[in-house]
Amino acid sequence: MSCCKKYLNGCCDLDWYNYIDTSRVFVFALVLTRVSGIVITAPVFGGSDIPMQIRALLAFCLALLIMPSQWLIEINEPGTLSEFAVLIAGELIIGLFIGLGVNIFFSGISLAGEVIGQLGGLSAAAIFDPISGDQSPLLSRMLSYLAVTVFAAIGGLRTMIAALLDTFQSLPLTKWTASATGESSHFELISYALVSILSISFNLSLRIAAPVMISVLVALLVMGLLSKTLPQLNLMSIGFGINSMIMMLVFSLSIGAGIWCFQERVSDVMELLFHGLHTNIDASVDLDW
């Protein structure tokens, strides 16, 4: 019995942490940070409907899958905490850029739904989100879910992951501050891509909401002229219901064209993201049309 206790005490006295390769732990931390950026902000992955524990588990699993490809990379470990923070921030920016770019693009869909709801008098028809704690318009939430479904169906999620994987070749770990081809830095290309995606998103929201906006405007003009010509009809008292019916009719007829416009611009957004990350992926080939 005393021999067993002596053996166990000897095992407990071993400095087991000396056998851990700290350089590989540091590489895994960088990979996990880059993956976490896209999981935090990208649609589907970083949606408020998904619990934080599920997103953390997803980021950890993706990092484990990517880690074997980065196992043999030699990286100089930072000497100070500030150097470590700078390296972590650089890897996080790469992941955030992919997720934020796609999220900005999807915000155009949400904006179109809010505009359509305001014009049709459905601003009060909002859905309470128990996770985020705020209210979102009904049409905005419906269009967002429809856009996410189309995005996943044409391979958008697979393309985002492919872009993330390719960044480990085009932008190796700790090399994100290096200058890009020519005289443009990574920050300049990322800024240009985000501004361009914001312009595409705003243009998309106008294209989706335009049929309803024009129809409601024409209906208001017609009702205004009729109420001036025939005031005994009292059309303005029923104008709210008429606007709602016109909005629902036109929205039902134009929703397919709006989603087609969304699908048409997905490749443009992906090309901007790929250009900012210097990846070699062709969006027109990788996406399933």
* 167, 160 contact by CB (below 8 A): no
In 67-80, which residue ranges form alpha helices assigned H by DSSP? none
The pLDDT value given to residue 232? 62
Lowest mean pLDDT, pick from 32-36, 117-121, 155-159: 117-121
Q: Does residue 130 have a pLDDT over 80?
A: no
CA distance 104 to 201: 7
The answer for residues whose C-beta is within 8 angstroms of residue 72's C-beta and 6 or more apart is none
Q: Over the stretch 211-239, which tens digit does the pLDDT of each residue have?
A: 888 888 888 787 777 777 766 666 666 66
At residue 13 the predicted structure's pLDDT band, cuts being 50, 70 and 90, is very low
Tokens coding 170: 């085009």
Domain definitions of the chain by residue range: 94-286
Per-residue pLDDT tens digits for 41-100? 887 776 666 778 888 888 888 888 888 887 777 777 777 778 778 888 888 888 888 888
pLDDT confidence of residue 18: 60
pTM of the model: 0.76
Please say if the pLDDT value at position 286 is more than 60. Answer: no
178-204 pLDDT per residue, tens:
444 444 466 777 888 888 889 999 998
Q: Token digits for 205?
A: 């929201």
